[in-house]
Amino acid sequence: MPEMMPSFHNPPLILVADDDKTMRLGVRQAMEQDGYQVIEAHDGNTCLSVFERVRPDVVLLDAIMPAIDGFTCCRRIQEMSGIRRTPVLMITGLEDQDSVDKAFSVGAVDYITKPIHWAVLRQRVKRLIQQVRLYQQLETANHELQRLAAIDSLTQVANRRRFDEYLQQEWQRMLREQLPLSLILCDIDCFKLYNDTYGHQAGDDCLRQVAQVIQNAAKRAIDLPARYGGEEFAVILPNTDQEGAILVAQDIQTGVKNLQISHTASKVCDTVTVSLGVSNTIPSVITSPELLINAADKALYQAKAEGRDRYCT
């Protein structure tokens, strides 16, 4: 899943770095007029450590400061903030072209000269805040889309797309590390009869409950329970040998039984049951994830043939 997103401060947080105390006070007052929070730094070193600690939304940076100057500060801030760039606006008495060029080349997004025109400063900061906020909204929307694209909407477990992707990924990882990879396929018994008897809605509800059992049985963060197709589920179990996979299969089998969902038309017993196929291998270059799936599929078929409500390997 995608990494944690740093959040936008509310109210927005502005870092003001300037070695001139009067200047910091003036900027603070202008920012507070617009409802922003302000944190001050009186030199370059403090600016960088405060930046790292509080991750402000915008930085207002003086160019000439003792020890570490504003240009260097700006470059370091860009490096620290990574792809999620924190906008830096330089406020400086330097008006020559070299200084302006230098500021933009180290990543400043805006540049205003002293003496400060307060109304202009406030409008510029307001626009930067709007941009940061928009970027954050896009990031959140993108994050949500990624999540939705990997999830089965009915059962809330991973969908087939995510299953395929994760199986490839873990196959490669287990191949590199020469560790066992297990796969469970799980199919609801006589589910067509269940739908015919109780209706499609009840069928959907049954699928949700079975998915929950499978989710609970796949205990480790690296296990991936997924909806493989209609009424078939799968569990990918990295770094798990056959014995470990059988324990999970048994958990699912008894978990579903314990749901005690009535199924009077079932050929097995009077509640909903599942059949499971378990396969396991240490990946090698002459085998493939498809073979692991085929083996689980064959085992599942055998479990059905032997009378259902069981697992086979």
Q: Give me the active site residues, please.
A: 231
Per-residue x/- track, 252-291, Mg ion (CB under 5 A): ----------------------------------------
Shortest Cβ 216–ligand GH3 spacing (Å): 21
Pick what 64 binds: Mg ion, ligand GH3, none; C-beta below 5 to 8 Å, kind-dependent: Mg ion
Residue 113, Ramachandran bin (φ over 0: left; ψ between -120 and 50: alpha; else beta): beta
When asked if residue 191 is in the footprint of Mg ion (CB under 5 A), the reply is yes
Rounded CA separation 55/205 (Å): 45
Q: Given candidates 12, 14, 17, 19, which one binds Mg ion under the rule CB under 5 A?
A: 19
**In contact, 106 and 74? CB cutoff 8 Å:** yes
Nearer to ligand GH3, 51 or 191 (CB): 191
Pick what 111 binds: ligand GH3, Mg ion, none; C-beta below 5 to 8 Å, kind-dependent: none
Pick what 299 binds: Mg ion, ligand GH3, none; C-beta below 5 to 8 Å, kind-dependent: none
**How do 224-229 and 232-238 pair as beta strands?**
antiparallel
When asked if residue 62 is in the footprint of Mg ion (CB under 5 A), the reply is yes
Nearer to ligand GH3, 8 or 228 (CB): 228
Shortest Cβ 289–ligand GH3 spacing (Å): 23
Rounded CA separation 49/2 (Å): 27
Rounded CA separation 105/302 (Å): 67
Pick what 19 binds: Mg ion, ligand GH3, none; C-beta below 5 to 8 Å, kind-dependent: Mg ion
HSE, side-chain direction, 13 A CA sphere, residue 140 = 9
Pick what 195 binds: ligand GH3, Mg ion, none; C-beta below 5 to 8 Å, kind-dependent: ligand GH3
Nearer to ligand GH3, 161 or 192 (CB): 192
Nearer to ligand GH3, 111 or 233 (CB): 233
**How do 58-62 and 37-41 pair as beta strands?**
unpaired
Shortest Cβ 308–ligand GH3 spacing (Å): 6
Rounded CA separation 190/68 (Å): 73
Nearer to Mg ion, 152 or 187 (CB): 187
Rounded CA separation 108/122 (Å): 17
Shortest Cβ 227–ligand GH3 spacing (Å): 9
Peptide bond into 11 cis (omega under 30): yes
Rounded CA separation 179/295 (Å): 18
C-alpha distances in Å from residue 61, one per residue of 10, 29, 104: 21, 16, 13
Q: Side chain identity at 106, as an amino acid letter?
A: V
Shortest Cβ 154–ligand GH3 spacing (Å): 6
Using CB under 5 A, list all residues that contact Mg ion. Answer: 19, 62, 64, 187-188, 191, 232
